[in-house]
């Protein structure tokens, strides 16, 4: 009995260790893809879009919350968040600016609310475009359908915030009935406010990653990415707050403009972390590394045939004047899963056989003239090749592999992709 229990504990511990090893591997691979996807540029673009859309978006949400009678609760939560994030002085200035501008915006009536709604949807559309770029998918066609989807997402998010506020109020009233201490009630109220801010933040990150991309995202991958993003934002917020509280020189030099400067920097950090969280989700689900196409359970014959066919499809389209070959066409023509296709594409990109032609990295052309791309290079990239001197061969397996390479890959020394296309 005790032995069985110890074995179960050992298995769970081993599984826990394996999960963390895999998670670290995902983080390392995500780090290598951040520069490739220009995440810093994407985050900078989102700062600009947020700066334009923030007041209309808040004005629309405030009108929604006012209809449910929870506007003051939302303002209190927003005030706590800004003060904890940007510091006491900067947070207070931002709260007063938001109250002033949204008050003016709400005075415009129904027409103003509709225009604010459209502006908010445009912000979501911008995030939607960026997420699809990270996940290598094409946006959905149909403006009306996309508009309806974004409107539904915005309303559901607002209703969720209303529900969380109602739950918070119910919990506080219940605790007040049991404990009459004012100090305890105040501490409890601050705790629940902070907890609700964290919950709203996590739900927002999870929704952006799970619902926005035009791809079927696994729940486990979305959870890994969103929780990583949440903890990263919490840590970055604490560091950012500490830097702001010690950077008094900025307030002396820029005055009230320092608050706007701090907000822009925080927006950049926020969106940068969101994009990195999306990258982690993408890597965790699709595993776009070379290990996808090396060795078992994938047979060498399948790897080489599918990889060479991919190159030939891209090359033939380009030679015939049809332009770039998209991922969707490659999936359809090769009849391979999307995750496997990403493995081939990444290997061929790294080997400088093909290259993307759009910012979404979803359409490809040959990276060189076809008569300068040799078949032996494609085979080296797809399955790998390590040439050894005769004196370094120590096992029969190494001897067989060396003989296979010498009589196989090296026999194709002068065959180019152009030659293969001419034989079709």
Buried b (16+ CB within 10 A) or exposed e, 222-248: bbbbbebbbebbeebbeebbeebeeee
Mean pLDDT over 364-368 rounds to: 91
Nearest Cα to Cα of residue 169 among 237, 51, 74, 33:
74
Mean pLDDT of all residues in 222-244: 89
Could you tell me what percent of the chain has a pLDDT over 70?
Answer: 75
- Domains in the chain (CATH in brackets) are 37-286 (no CATH), 290-423 (1.10.10.10)
Whether the predicted pLDDT of 297 surpasses 60: no
Taking residues 80-95, report their average pLDDT.
Answer: 74
At 296, the pLDDT band (50, 70, 90 cuts) reads: very low
Measured in degrees and rounded to the nearest 5, phi and psi for residue 325 equal -100, 125
pLDDT at 250: 60
pLDDT reported for residue 197: 78
pTM: 0.68
pLDDT band at 139 (very low <50, low <70, confident <90, very high): confident
**pLDDT at residue 181 is higher than 70:** no
The phi and psi torsions of 108 (rounded to 5 degrees) equal -80, -10
Peptide bond into 377 cis (omega under 30): no
Q: Is the pLDDT of residue 178 over 70?
A: no
Out of 24-28, 231-235, 287-291, least confident range? 287-291
- With tokens 């290259």, the residue in question is 355
- pLDDT tens track for 302-336: 778 888 889 999 999 998 888 898 888 888 888 87
Q: What is the mean pLDDT of residues 128-133?
A: 85
For residue 3, pLDDT beyond 80: no
Output the pLDDT for position 294: 45
Which range has highest mean pLDDT (186-200, 240-254, 275-289, 381-395)? 275-289
pLDDT in tens, 6-58: 677 777 778 788 888 889 988 988 887 887 778 888 888 888 888 887 777 77
pLDDT for position 68: 75
Higher per-residue pLDDT: 206 or 246: 206
d(CA 155, CA 148): 11
Q: In what order do the strands lie in the sheet with 354-356?
A: 325-326, 363-366, 354-356
Phi, psi dihedrals of residue 356, rounded to the nearest 5°: -75, 155
């Amino acid at each position: 009995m005790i032995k069985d229990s110890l074995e179960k504990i050992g298995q769970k511990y081993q599984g826990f260790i394996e999960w963390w090893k895999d998670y670290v591997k995902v983080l390392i691979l995500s780090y290598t893809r951040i520069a490739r996807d220009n995440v810093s540029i994407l985050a900078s673009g989102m700062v600009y879009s947020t700066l334009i859309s923030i007041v209309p978006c808040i004005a629309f949400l405030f009108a929604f919350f006012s209809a449910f009678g929870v506007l003051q609760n939302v303002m209190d939560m927003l005030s706590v968040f800004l003060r904890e994030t940007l510091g006491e002085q900067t947070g207070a200035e931002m709260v007063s600016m938001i109250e002033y501008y949204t008050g003016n915006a709400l005075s415009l009536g129904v027409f103003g609310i509709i225009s604010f709604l459209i502006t908010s949807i445009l912000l979501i559309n911008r995030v939607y475009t960026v997420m699809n770029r990270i996940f290598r998918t094409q946006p959905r066609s149909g403006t009306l359908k996309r508009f309806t989807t974004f409107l539904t997402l915005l309303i559901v998010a607002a209703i969720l915030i209303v529900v969380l506020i109602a739950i918070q109020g119910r919990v506080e009233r219940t605790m007040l009935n049991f404990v009459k201490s004012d100090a305890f009630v105040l501490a409890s109220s601050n705790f629940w406010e902070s907890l609700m801010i964290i919950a709203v933040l996590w739900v927002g990150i999870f929704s952006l990653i799970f619902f926005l991309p035009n791809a079927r995202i696994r729940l486990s991958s979305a959870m890994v990415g969103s929780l990583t993003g949440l903890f990263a934002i919490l840590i970055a917020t604490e560091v950012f707050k500490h830097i702001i509280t010690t950077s008094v020189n900025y307030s002396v030099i820029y005055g009230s403009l320092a608050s706007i400067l701090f907000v822009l920097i925080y927006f950049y950090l926020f969106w940068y972390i969101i994009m990195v969280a999306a990258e982690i989700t993408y890597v965790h689900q699709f595993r776009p590394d070379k290990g996808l196409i090396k060795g078992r359970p994938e047979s060498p014959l399948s790897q080489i045939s599918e990889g060479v066919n991919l190159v030939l499809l891209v090359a033939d389209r380009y030679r015939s004047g049809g332009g770039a070959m998209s991922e969707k066409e490659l999936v359809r023509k090769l009849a391979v899963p999307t995750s496997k296709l990403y493995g081939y594409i990444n290997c061929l990109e790294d080997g400088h056989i093909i290259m993307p032609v759009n910012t979404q990295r979803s359409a490809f052309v040959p990276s060189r003239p076809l008569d300068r791309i040799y078949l032996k290079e494609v085979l080296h990239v797809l399955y790998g090749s390590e040439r050894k001197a005769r004196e370094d061969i120590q096992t029969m397996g190494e001897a067989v592999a060396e003989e296979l390479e010498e009589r196989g890959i090296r026999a194709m020394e002068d065959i180019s992709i152009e030659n293969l296309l001419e034989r079709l």
